[in-house]
Amino acid sequence: MKFKKPRGTQDLLGKYMEKWSSVEERITGILRSYGYLEIRTPIFEVSDLFVRTVGESSDIVTKEMYMFKDKKGRRLTLRPENTAPVMRAYLENGLQRQGGISRFYYMGPMFRYDRPQAGRYRQFHQIGAEAIGTSNPAIDAEIINLSMDIYRAFGFSSLQVRLNSVGCMKCRGEYMGFLREKLEEYKPELCDDCRQRTDTNPLRVFDCKTCVSVKEKLPTITDHLCEECNEHFEKLCAILKQMGVDFVIDPLLVRGLDYYTKTAYEIVCPELGAQNALCGGGRYDGLASELGGVSIPAVGFSAGMERLMQILPDELDKSETTMTRAYFVVFDDKCSIQAMVLADRLRSAGFVAYVDFSMRSIKKQLKSASTRGYDYAVFVGQKEIEDKEVTLKNMESGDQVTVSFEKLVSYFSEKGVVGIE
């Protein structure tokens, strides 16, 4: 052979590609069932987009990015991750002026110059979702539940969430001082990379696989959270408990990107042994302002397609789902959890369910439901919770009907309504 594929890449073809496409289709159905819409960003971006947001001292920027100059000498980079490009696209296209929450999902290739090994490539593929526009911890819970639903759809049952809060710029700044002091004490025990990180970005020490014994002796960010971050974390934990999501608090979990704030999480499957991590994500409320926009809260996750393909059986169970679209109009913050529970029931039955956490007026939420092409509006307020029933509005005819919580799924099923592709 005169030419071979570059090291760290692979050709997808034949039965493997058929399986890959089937997996993508199933995941897309789940993402759409939560009301997320696809976004596609360029494969290369201006290098400073990643240097500024991922972190100048991060391993991705210092060791792994594929950077090059174009014919006019501009520095460009093959995207190593897609959250920063999604936020760039959100701001550049003026979506912040629409108000409410923008929910996006993406699938596509990413590039990192890393040592190739089983399930890890220099060109790899990520699945991800981003929810931009609200600081409500309910949306963090939605993202966590959404990412778990993807793996549940392929038969993974013993899933566990490792959860932490990495604070905000205010409380993290104070914490860094304590952390640097402790790291100076243990400097002789640190690897060469972590000795350097002590001066540049000490939080990255928690990413190190070598300095495990030192990490366990260090002060944790959860003991230094400000009042706002602590309240957000407590609310998130309470919501996850009410939803029946199995999670453990891991104070050593920080994730590998500098833009994370508050929520950070990973999903693991203990049955897989040492390599049990499946996906992860978190909140990044400061990313928009880092890119020159106003401060916009956001949260998301990403998962590796190659890793998922590696642990799936050769043959997949094929099933079709209906796509009826229900838009949950939430009257106030206290009603959001009940709306999430009901939406989850509809998704489990094969319907699309979008929960509006924006707390805008009912009129604006209904306008959003109409603009996005949803079939039904589902009203959830304090009276509905007390009566344990919701009002459904047919967005096409305007007809309304009251349905109990228990009969919500059966109502859709018995009517035989089908959604809009």
Rounded to whole angstroms, how far apart are CA atoms 160 and 164? 13
Token digits of residue 338: 């009940």
- Res 46 pLDDT > 90: yes
What is the per-residue pLDDT for 421? Answer: 33
End-to-end distance of the chain based on CA atoms, in angstroms? Answer: 46
- Res 299 pLDDT > 90: yes
319/405: higher pLDDT: 405
Closest CA to 92 of 134, 39, 168, 143: 39
DSSP assigned state of 6? P
What is the per-residue pLDDT for 173? Answer: 80
Query: Could you tell me if 401 and 353 are in contact, meaning their C-beta atoms sit under 8 angstroms apart?
Result: no
Residue 417's pLDDT band, with cuts at 50, 70 and 90, is low
Token digits of residue 118: 């089983």
Q: What is the pLDDT of residues 100-135, one digit of tens each?
A: 999 999 999 999 998 888 778 999 999 999 999 999
Rounded to whole angstroms, how far apart are CA atoms 391 and 402? 4
Distance, CA of 287 to chain centre? 14
Q: What single letter denotes the amino acid at residue 34? A: Y
390/57: higher pLDDT: 390
Average pLDDT over residues 287-292: 93
Q: What is the pLDDT of residues 352-387, one digit of tens each?
A: 999 999 999 999 999 999 998 899 999 999 999 999
Helix, coil or strand: residue 415: helix
Who's near 38: CB < 8 A, 6+ residues apart?
A: 28, 104, 105, 106, 107
Rounded to whole angstroms, how far apart are CA atoms 304 and 54? 18
Q: What single letter denotes the amino acid at residue 100? A: G
Rounded to whole angstroms, how far apart are CA atoms 292 and 403? 46
Rounded to whole angstroms, how far apart are CA atoms 360 and 356? 9
Region of residue 284 (phi > 0: left; psi between -120 and 50: alpha; otherwise: beta): beta
Torsions phi, psi of 356, nearest 5?
-90, 105
Give the other-Cβ count within 10 Å of 150's Cβ.
22
Closest CA to 352 of 161, 146, 147, 157: 146
Q: What is the pLDDT of residues 165-196, one digit of tens each?
A: 999 988 888 888 888 888 888 888 889 888 88
- Res 416 pLDDT > 80: no
Rounded to whole angstroms, how far apart are CA atoms 215 and 411? 53
- Res 317 pLDDT > 70: no
Residue 206's pLDDT band, with cuts at 50, 70 and 90, is confident
Complete domains list, the chain, with CATH: 15-157+271-311 (3.30.930.10), 170-221 (no CATH), 325-415 (3.40.50.800)
- Res 319 pLDDT > 80: no
- With 0-12 / 13-18 / 19 or more C-beta atoms within 10 angstroms meaning exposed / middle / buried, residue 130 is buried
pTM for the model stands at 0.88
- With 0-12 / 13-18 / 19 or more C-beta atoms within 10 angstroms meaning exposed / middle / buried, residue 375 is buried
Q: What is the pLDDT of residues 48-99, one digit of tens each?
A: 999 988 877 777 888 899 999 999 999 999 999 999 999 999 999 999 998 8
177/399: higher pLDDT: 399
Mean predicted lDDT score pLDDT of the chain? 90
Rounded to whole angstroms, how far apart are CA atoms 212 and 231? 29
Token digits of residue 179: 């952390």
- Res 321 pLDDT > 60: no
Q: What percent of the chain has pLDDT over 70?
A: 96
What is the per-residue pLDDT for 256? Answer: 64
The helix or strand, by DSSP H or E, that contains position 276, with its residue range, turns out to be: none
